[in-house]
Structure 1
Amino acid sequence: MTGRLTVLAPDGVPEVAAGADLAALLLDALAAAGEALADGDVVVVTSKVVSKAEGRVRPGDREAALAGETARVVARRGPTTIVRTHHGLTMAAAGIDASNVARGQVVLLPVDPDASAARLRADLQARTDRHLGVVVTDTAGRAWREGQTDIAVGAAGLRVLEDYAGRHDAHGNELAVTAPAVADELAGAAELAQGKLAGRPFAVVRGRADLLLPPADDGPGARALVRREGGDLFGYGAREAVVTALVGDPATSTPYGSAVGLDELAAVLARVAGAAVVTAGGGERLLADDGPRGEAGLLAVACFAHGWRLVAAGPRPDGRPGLELRVSPAAVEPRP
């Protein structure tokens, strides 16, 4: 067998305004190109036109709209602010876009991109009697990588993640954590045909009908690709992580992740203190030898960043130089 993927992005889609019929716009553009949807196709549409059709255009600039679209700030670097949106997406300026829109206006992301994808899927399937999937896309940067690529922010009717855990390769090796984000891969493939300035907001990807769910099943949506708060290793930017730990507000602790084990905490505190730190007994009690950086304030910061709270620091009960540290889990519930 030969793997084959084809992508068609039709020209001729007019400017989209609030209330526009996206299904009709796509079908008309395909018809003009002598094309039609087929069973197994995945329709890919930019979030920009979905937002325009749903009336998510606002007057003003990105900065004015940013607060309302932000769940929390992840990092700031000069004029760039990376935030976690109310959708759970981590994006520059909350995905607010000032391109391909009239000057003095911005476009916000759809309120619920998965619901937007489900509505478009239902509409297209009803009009064409075809079995389809739908992906709503937006452009995002990647940690450690230059440039941007399109990702799935909404999806309906297809598996968004393939799980290879437990399968074996041709050499008999068991795969452990291989899980292709196929919805993101479809988004990236579609963007290659759509282009950024070509006025092609729709694409049809053909060749991955195996990803589709039954016609009445919209599936988990692209929200299944979003890690829960605290589940990512990089919940804050490097500088923001330091400042947040120094402030020590319990309400900001979730992005650091679950509390580490007590032995791991002791090892962390030993690095900070420059002295040996060991667990004492079975309780939440640590003993620190005297060291040049053994100040309780620094240890409290390290505890906070690792899911613990420094309750008390006092003389060691055995009379040796150093501190007895009493700690307790921060016990902040992870947010979805």
Structure 2
Amino acid sequence: MRLEILPVPGIGDVTEGDDLAVLIGTAAPWLRDGDVLVVTSKIVSKAEGRLVDVPADGPERLAARDEVLAAETARVVASRGATRIVQTHHGFVMASAGIDASNVDKTRLVLLPVDPDASARALRAALRDRYRIDVAVIISDTMGRPWRNGLTDVALGVAGMPAIRDHRGEVDPYGNELQLTQMAVVDELAGAGELIKGKCDQVPVAVVRGYLPASSPPADGGRAHPPAGGGGRDDRPAVRLVDDGSGAAALVRESALDLFSLGTAEAMAAGMRAAATLADGRGEAPVDPAAVDRAIAAVAEVVAPGTTFTQITDDEVRAGLAATVDGWPVGASGLLLGAAPTPVDQPDLVRFGVDLHRLRIALAAEGIPSTLLPPPTGSIASACLAL
């Protein structure tokens, strides 16, 4: 495979209502069937009128931007100082919901297109209808990445080709069947286009040639510049590119499968809220004694001096205690005894209850549910946790 990345200069400033197909077709009369157009989302947003007016500077501008950000945000993923990583209503996770103040008047902000996949489909259809040329279209924008410094362009919308190349089921040269490999090829092509477009060169469109199959080019290596009336290409048949219809939405990971759905501080806050409402329960599988020991060790330095937690692993001892504890749950596979130093007064008992809850939280972090039971008969300074 041989790839070429070609700039499309001369498009100029895009304003609301502009016909992007005409602007691109006029600036790139050399487009061929099978080319992949990588179009910066900003010119799509400008053409579609996705701009808002804000003050040019001062606290009023910051307040207006915050209000716009809130409207574009489905949920906050992470927050550090003035930086907000959010999930947009499209499902994208990115800084400031993709709101951009570059390459636009100081009194305006550019928002992402409402439906980038629909924008890509519309642009592709307009190029096909006006110029009889069959290209794929990628709407791209810049994103950061977890664990990595620097930015790269990714696909927000796509038409004319699938977003993902699925290698699952293929066999590599060593005879291994691929189980998980799914390549986000439209993101790779978006990044390739950014190498040509840049941020300050006023080249909002790039063409990647050679990735998709195409019919043989005309003898002059391109097509004639479209006439003012719209005109068209020669009469050779256009290539029909494979498009599964899912667009770049296929790249948005389902929340249930997202292992990094929250920032560190936000995940900790969610964990604390869950700890505050920790319910009684017991596990379906036998308790791992090593996991229980880890939970005990996790709270050892923060419980009251003299408070002890003991894991009971002897079956006979556990059976004897079960006979003296009210409400022993059937099927519990583990037992912990907690004891406060004696004698105790009411504040000591309150602290002991706090320490018991600390331990229950540490157990929950190990995936071990627990149920707090009354103390064995005759004790007021101890408690049982059934696991």
- TM bin, normalised by shorter chain, reads 0.7 to 0.9
- Correspondence 1:210-229 to 2 at 5 A: 210=213, 214=240, 217=243, 219-229=245-255
Task: Call closer, same or farther: CA 1:103–1:287 in 2, change over 3 Å.
Answer: same
Q: Assess if the C-alpha contact under 8 Å between 2:121 and 2:137 holds in 1.
A: yes
| CA distance in structure 1 between the aligned counterparts of 2:359 and 2:49, rounded to whole angstroms | 50
Q: How many residues align?
A: 305
State the 1:179 CA deviation. 1.3
| CA distance in structure 2 between the aligned counterparts of 1:68 and 1:301, rounded to whole angstroms | 38
Aligned position for 1:177: 180
Task: Call closer, same or farther: CA 1:66–1:174 in 2, change over 3 Å.
Answer: same
Q: Assess if the C-alpha contact under 8 Å between 2:193 and 2:207 holds in 1.
A: yes
| CA distance in structure 1 between the aligned counterparts of 2:366 and 2:155, rounded to whole angstroms | 31
Aligned position for 1:257: none
TM-score by structure 2 length? 0.69
Q: Which of 191, 194, 199 is matched with 2:197 structurally?
A: 194
| CA distance in structure 2 between the aligned counterparts of 1:181 and 1:206, rounded to whole angstroms | 18
| CA distance in structure 1 between the aligned counterparts of 2:312 and 2:107, rounded to whole angstroms | 58
Matched, 1:289 2:283: no
202-211 vs 143-152, which moves further: 202-211
| 1:230 alignment partner AA | A
State the 1:276 CA deviation. 5.7
Task: Call closer, same or farther: CA 1:160–1:54 in 2, change over 3 Å.
Answer: same
Gap regions ≥5 residues in structure 2 = 55-60, 215-238, 277-282, 298-309, 314-327, 340-353
| CA distance in structure 2 between the aligned counterparts of 1:265 and 1:57, rounded to whole angstroms | 57
Q: Which of 116, 132, 146 is matched with 2:135 structurally?
A: 132
State the 1:288 CA deviation. 4.6
Aligned position for 1:79: 82
| CA distance in structure 1 between the aligned counterparts of 2:108 and 2:178, rounded to whole angstroms | 48
**Helix, strand or coil for the counterpart of 2:8?**
coil
Aligned position for 2:45: 51
**Helix, strand or coil for the counterpart of 2:250?**
helix
State the 1:296 CA deviation. 2.8
Matched, 1:313 2:360: no
Aligned position for 2:384: 322
- Correspondence 1:35-46 to 2 at 5 A: 36-46=30-40
Aligned position for 1:23: 21
Q: For the aligned residues, what is the CA RMSD?
A: 3.6
Matched, 1:156 2:164: no
Q: Assess if the C-alpha contact under 8 Å between 2:162 and 2:243 holds in 1.
A: no
Task: Call closer, same or farther: CA 1:9–1:277 in 2, change over 3 Å.
Answer: farther
State the 1:166 CA deviation. 1.9
Greater C-alpha Rg: 2
**Helix, strand or coil for the counterpart of 1:245?**
helix
State the 1:301 CA deviation. 8.2
Q: Which of 150, 153, 174 is matched with 1:147 structurally?
A: 150
**Helix, strand or coil for the counterpart of 1:209?**
coil
| 2:41 alignment partner AA | S
Aligned position for 1:231: 257
| CA distance in structure 2 between the aligned counterparts of 1:29 and 1:264, rounded to whole angstroms | 69
Task: Call closer, same or farther: CA 1:324–1:13 in 2, change over 3 Å.
Answer: same
Q: Assess if the C-alpha contact under 8 Å between 2:35 and 2:210 holds in 1.
A: yes
Task: Call closer, same or farther: CA 1:218–1:262 in 2, change over 3 Å.
Answer: same
Task: Call closer, same or farther: CA 1:299–1:207 in 2, change over 3 Å.
Answer: farther
State the 1:249 CA deviation. 10
Q: Which of 69, 85, 89 is matched with 1:66 structurally?
A: 69
| 1:314 alignment partner AA | L
Matched, 1:206 2:268: no
Q: Percent identity?
A: 45
Once the two structures are superposed, what CA deviation does each residue of 1:171-217 show, in whole Å capped at 9, x if it has no partner?
22222211110000000000001111111111111111159x94595
TM-score by structure 1 length? 0.79
| CA distance in structure 1 between the aligned counterparts of 2:149 and 2:338, rounded to whole angstroms | 42
